[in-house]
Amino acid sequence: MMPLLEVENLQVHFRTPSGINRAVDGVSFYVNPGETLAIVGESGCGKSVTSMSMMRLIPEPPGKIAGSIKLEGRDILTLSDREMRQLRGNDISMIFQEPMTSLNPVLTVGRQIGETLRLHQGLDQAQAEARAVEMLTLVGIPEPARRVREYPHQLSGGMRQRVMIAMALACNPKLLIADEPTTALDVTIQAQILKLMLELKQRVGAAIILITHDLGVVAEVAERVMVMYAGRKVEEAPVKELFRSPRHPYTQGLLGALPKLGSSLSGETKRLAEIPGQVPDLKQRIEGCVFAGRCALATDVCRQYAPGLEQKAPHHIAACHFAAKEQAAA
């Protein structure tokens, strides 16, 4: 099966007064049609920059994108601005992290959903409004015929996020990028939004790239996981395999920092694990492993030579000199 999206050696650098910031440094991955891939890592690891690159929303300058991003075999980095506008919102859509700053405060939500439909589907104003009502119904907003005439500030946070999902899915895209879609929402609304995304994914057949730092969300919705650290991919595996047997010390640290449900009731007083140290400065050239400065297993080899991504188990790759040895000792 041909992947829907293929990203090869993606590099996104930003020129700053204090040097070049290598926000994404040689990341490669793929997404199959209808698949959900989660990209995880702590803040500043390059997740959102990767997603913005796929939408060609990185301002140049100060940013510069290199590598290739192919959607159905077509490299979007070679497209003109006009071709990219036709693609964006139609074949590839994005749900942004904070809906209040992504929605236009002076336009009604119906007009904002309708704009995509008029541009890409050629609908007139009445048809676009009728479709907007249909989309708001689909995402579970009550009284959709009234809500289409309301402004973003009149809606709750959960409703605004539903409007963003309705906009993103209005043209039945092949690929949906969701950048931390539940970060600003409370836990019950979070669960509803995730359930809604999965239901709509099945209905329209879209593939999803879910950008998140919440491993609980990943376990719920993803099929494959890519772990990023300091602008590089350090591990990738099917979701069950990654949770069962994480190979990279950074992934092990992330999973070790998760609180275990019911641990206080069972009398466990074990402290949550923490990852010591700081993320390296991405303006400095890192010679060896990007995680060496925070890793308990690091040796001189790690500090001198960057480990390549190697297969550690079927469909499971990690960039660690000692991942295989760890597995043998287990």
Q: What was the pLDDT predicted at 50?
A: 93
The whole-number pLDDT of residue 85 equals 87
Q: For the chain, which residues make up each domain, given as ranges? A: 5-222, 232-259+273-329
Q: DSSP letter string over 219-267?
A: HHH-SEEEEEETTEEEEEEEHHHHHH---SHHHHHHHHTSPPTTTTTTT
Phi, psi values for residue 14, rounded to 5°: -120, 130
Residues 256-283: b if buried by 16+ CB within 10 A, e if exposed = eeeeeeeeeeeeeeeeeeebeeebbebe
Per-residue pLDDT, averaged over 170-189, amounts to: 80
Supply 164's token pair. 């963003």
As a whole number, mean pLDDT of residues 238-253 equals 91
The pLDDT value recorded for residue 232 is 92
Helix or strand (DSSP H, E) at 188: helix 187-204
CA distance 4 to 208: 11
Question: Does residue 29 have a pLDDT over 90?
Answer: yes
109 within 8 A of 100, measured Cβ to Cβ: no
Q: What is the mean pLDDT of residues 225-238?
A: 94
Nearest to 171 by CA among 221, 123, 105: 123
* pLDDT above 70 (res 273): yes
Q: What is the pLDDT of residues 69-119, one digit of tens each?
A: 999 999 999 999 999 988 888 889 888 877 667 788 999 999 988 888 888
Q: What pLDDT shows up at residue 330? A: 39
pLDDT band at 329 (very low <50, low <70, confident <90, very high): very low
Mean pLDDT (the chain) is 85
Query: Which residues are CB-neighbours of 130 under 8 A, at least 6 positions away?
Result: none
- For residues 47 and 274, which has the higher predicted lDDT (pLDDT)? 47
In the DSSP assignment, the letter for residue 146 is H
| Position 68, amino acid | S
Statement: residue 322 has pLDDT above 70: yes
Flag whether pLDDT at 261 surpasses 80.
no
For residue 328, pLDDT beyond 70: no
In the prediction, which pLDDT does 209 show? Answer: 93
Task: Record the pTM.
Answer: 0.86
Partners of 161 in beta bridges = none
CATH superfamily, domain 5-222, is: P-loop containing nucleotide triphosphate hydrolases (3.40.50.300)
Q: How far apart are CA 64 and CA 14, in angstroms?
A: 6
Average pLDDT over residues 283-289: 86
The strand pairing partners of 290, in sequence order, are none
| For residues 231-241, average pLDDT | 93
| Confidence band of 269 (pLDDT split at 50, 70, 90) | low
Whole-angstrom Cα Rg for the chain = 21
Cα 257 from Cα 181, distance rounded (Å): 22
In percent, how much of the chain has pLDDT > 90? Answer: 30
Reply yes or no on whether the pLDDT at 26 is more than 70. Answer: yes
Q: Is the pLDDT of residue 270 over 80?
A: no
